[in-house]
Amino acid sequence: MIAVIQRVSEASVTISDIEASRIGVGLLILLGIEGADTTEDIDWLTRKVANLRIFSDEEGKMNLSLLDIGGEVLVVSQFTLHALTKKGNRPSYIRAASPEIAIPLYEAFVKKMRVLGPPVLTGEFGADMQVSLVNDGPVTIIIDTKNKQ
Protein backbone atom coordinates (compact mmCIF):
# COMPACT_ATOMS: atom_id res chain seq x y z
CA MET A 1 0.00 0.00 0.00
CA ILE A 2 1.39 3.35 -1.01
CA ALA A 3 0.08 6.63 0.40
CA VAL A 4 1.00 10.07 -0.84
CA ILE A 5 0.10 12.33 2.07
CA GLN A 6 -0.23 16.04 1.51
CA ARG A 7 -0.79 18.58 4.25
CA VAL A 8 -3.48 20.89 2.90
CA SER A 9 -5.31 24.04 3.85
CA GLU A 10 -8.11 22.76 1.61
CA ALA A 11 -8.77 20.00 -0.90
CA SER A 12 -11.68 18.80 -3.01
CA VAL A 13 -12.76 16.13 -5.47
CA THR A 14 -14.97 16.85 -8.46
CA ILE A 15 -16.65 14.11 -10.50
CA SER A 16 -18.53 14.95 -13.71
CA ASP A 17 -18.46 18.68 -12.88
CA ILE A 18 -20.04 18.06 -9.46
CA GLU A 19 -18.05 18.64 -6.29
CA ALA A 20 -18.20 15.31 -4.46
CA SER A 21 -16.09 16.13 -1.39
CA ARG A 22 -14.32 19.10 0.19
CA ILE A 23 -12.18 19.44 3.31
CA GLY A 24 -10.46 22.29 5.06
CA VAL A 25 -7.24 21.96 7.03
CA GLY A 26 -5.98 18.41 7.13
CA LEU A 27 -4.58 15.72 4.86
CA LEU A 28 -5.22 14.67 1.29
CA ILE A 29 -4.27 11.00 0.98
CA LEU A 30 -3.75 9.46 -2.44
CA LEU A 31 -3.95 5.72 -1.77
CA GLY A 32 -2.59 3.00 -4.03
CA ILE A 33 -3.44 -0.60 -3.20
CA GLU A 34 -1.60 -3.63 -4.52
CA GLY A 35 -2.62 -7.27 -4.57
CA ALA A 36 -0.32 -8.22 -1.68
CA ASP A 37 -1.82 -5.67 0.74
CA THR A 38 -3.64 -6.85 3.87
CA THR A 39 -5.56 -5.48 6.83
CA GLU A 40 -2.23 -5.43 8.67
CA ASP A 41 -1.05 -2.79 6.16
CA ILE A 42 -4.23 -0.80 6.82
CA ASP A 43 -3.79 -0.92 10.60
CA TRP A 44 -0.15 0.18 10.41
CA LEU A 45 -0.73 2.91 7.81
CA THR A 46 -3.78 4.49 9.42
CA ARG A 47 -2.01 4.76 12.79
CA LYS A 48 1.08 6.19 11.11
CA VAL A 49 -0.90 8.78 9.12
CA ALA A 50 -3.08 9.89 12.05
CA ASN A 51 -0.05 10.38 14.29
CA LEU A 52 2.44 11.92 11.84
CA ARG A 53 3.67 15.12 13.44
CA ILE A 54 3.58 17.34 10.36
CA PHE A 55 1.46 20.27 11.55
CA SER A 56 3.01 23.35 13.10
CA ASP A 57 2.84 24.09 16.81
CA GLU A 58 2.77 27.59 18.34
CA GLU A 59 6.51 27.91 17.69
CA GLY A 60 6.18 26.99 14.01
CA LYS A 61 7.75 23.55 14.44
CA MET A 62 6.16 20.45 12.97
CA ASN A 63 5.20 18.84 16.28
CA LEU A 64 1.46 18.28 15.94
CA SER A 65 -0.47 15.42 14.36
CA LEU A 66 -3.74 15.38 12.46
CA LEU A 67 -5.43 14.20 15.66
CA ASP A 68 -3.82 17.03 17.68
CA ILE A 69 -5.21 19.74 15.38
CA GLY A 70 -8.62 18.14 14.75
CA GLY A 71 -7.96 18.10 10.99
CA GLU A 72 -9.96 16.49 8.23
CA VAL A 73 -8.98 13.78 5.74
CA LEU A 74 -9.77 13.32 2.06
CA VAL A 75 -8.90 9.85 0.74
CA VAL A 76 -8.64 9.31 -3.01
CA SER A 77 -7.89 5.93 -4.58
CA GLN A 78 -5.05 6.06 -7.08
CA PHE A 79 -3.89 2.81 -8.68
CA THR A 80 -1.27 4.69 -10.73
CA LEU A 81 0.92 4.93 -7.63
CA HIS A 82 1.92 1.35 -8.44
CA ALA A 83 3.09 2.17 -11.97
CA LEU A 84 6.17 0.32 -13.13
CA THR A 85 8.21 2.51 -15.47
CA LYS A 86 11.55 0.74 -15.87
CA LYS A 87 10.79 -0.77 -19.25
CA GLY A 88 9.59 1.36 -22.16
CA ASN A 89 7.48 4.49 -21.95
CA ARG A 90 4.09 3.00 -21.21
CA PRO A 91 3.64 2.39 -17.47
CA SER A 92 2.57 -1.07 -16.34
CA TYR A 93 0.06 -1.40 -13.54
CA ILE A 94 0.37 -5.14 -12.91
CA ARG A 95 1.17 -4.54 -9.20
CA ALA A 96 -2.05 -2.58 -8.65
CA ALA A 97 -4.79 -4.66 -7.06
CA SER A 98 -7.85 -5.64 -9.07
CA PRO A 99 -11.08 -3.88 -8.02
CA GLU A 100 -12.26 -7.09 -6.31
CA ILE A 101 -9.29 -6.82 -3.93
CA ALA A 102 -8.78 -3.06 -3.86
CA ILE A 103 -12.33 -1.88 -3.12
CA PRO A 104 -12.74 -3.78 0.18
CA LEU A 105 -9.25 -2.69 1.29
CA TYR A 106 -9.94 0.94 0.31
CA GLU A 107 -13.23 0.88 2.24
CA ALA A 108 -11.50 -0.73 5.23
CA PHE A 109 -8.81 1.98 5.17
CA VAL A 110 -11.46 4.73 5.19
CA LYS A 111 -13.41 3.00 7.99
CA LYS A 112 -10.26 2.56 10.10
CA MET A 113 -9.30 6.24 9.63
CA ARG A 114 -12.78 7.24 10.82
CA VAL A 115 -12.44 5.02 13.90
CA LEU A 116 -9.26 6.91 14.80
CA GLY A 117 -11.31 10.10 15.03
CA PRO A 118 -10.87 12.54 12.17
CA PRO A 119 -13.68 13.40 9.75
CA VAL A 120 -12.93 11.42 6.57
CA LEU A 121 -14.33 12.16 3.13
CA THR A 122 -13.56 10.30 -0.08
CA GLY A 123 -13.49 10.41 -3.80
CA GLU A 124 -15.26 7.66 -5.75
CA PHE A 125 -13.32 4.48 -6.33
CA GLY A 126 -12.57 4.01 -10.03
CA ALA A 127 -14.14 7.31 -11.11
CA ASP A 128 -12.49 9.91 -13.31
CA MET A 129 -11.88 12.58 -10.67
CA GLN A 130 -10.44 16.05 -10.63
CA VAL A 131 -8.56 16.61 -7.39
CA SER A 132 -7.82 20.14 -6.27
CA LEU A 133 -5.68 21.09 -3.32
CA VAL A 134 -3.78 23.86 -1.66
CA ASN A 135 -0.68 22.12 -0.34
CA ASP A 136 0.29 23.80 2.92
CA GLY A 137 4.03 24.14 3.33
CA PRO A 138 4.36 22.42 0.92
CA VAL A 139 4.41 19.19 2.89
CA THR A 140 4.18 15.93 0.95
CA ILE A 141 5.18 12.55 2.39
CA ILE A 142 5.20 9.18 0.66
CA ILE A 143 4.73 6.03 2.72
CA ASP A 144 4.97 2.49 1.37
CA THR A 145 3.81 -0.17 3.83
CA LYS A 146 6.27 -2.61 2.28
CA ASN A 147 9.09 -0.41 3.66
CA LYS A 148 8.09 -0.19 7.32
CA GLN A 149 11.63 -0.36 8.62
Residues serving a catalytic function are: 78-80
Cα distance between residue 15 and residue 52, in whole Å: 29
Cα distance between residue 15 and residue 103, in whole Å: 18
Read off the amino acid at residue 119: P
Cα distance between residue 71 and residue 19, in whole Å: 20
Cβ pair 134, 8 in contact under 8 A = yes
Cβ pair 4, 29 in contact under 8 A = yes
Cα distance between residue 78 and residue 75, in whole Å: 10
Q: DSSP string of 30-42?
A: EEE-BTT--HHHH
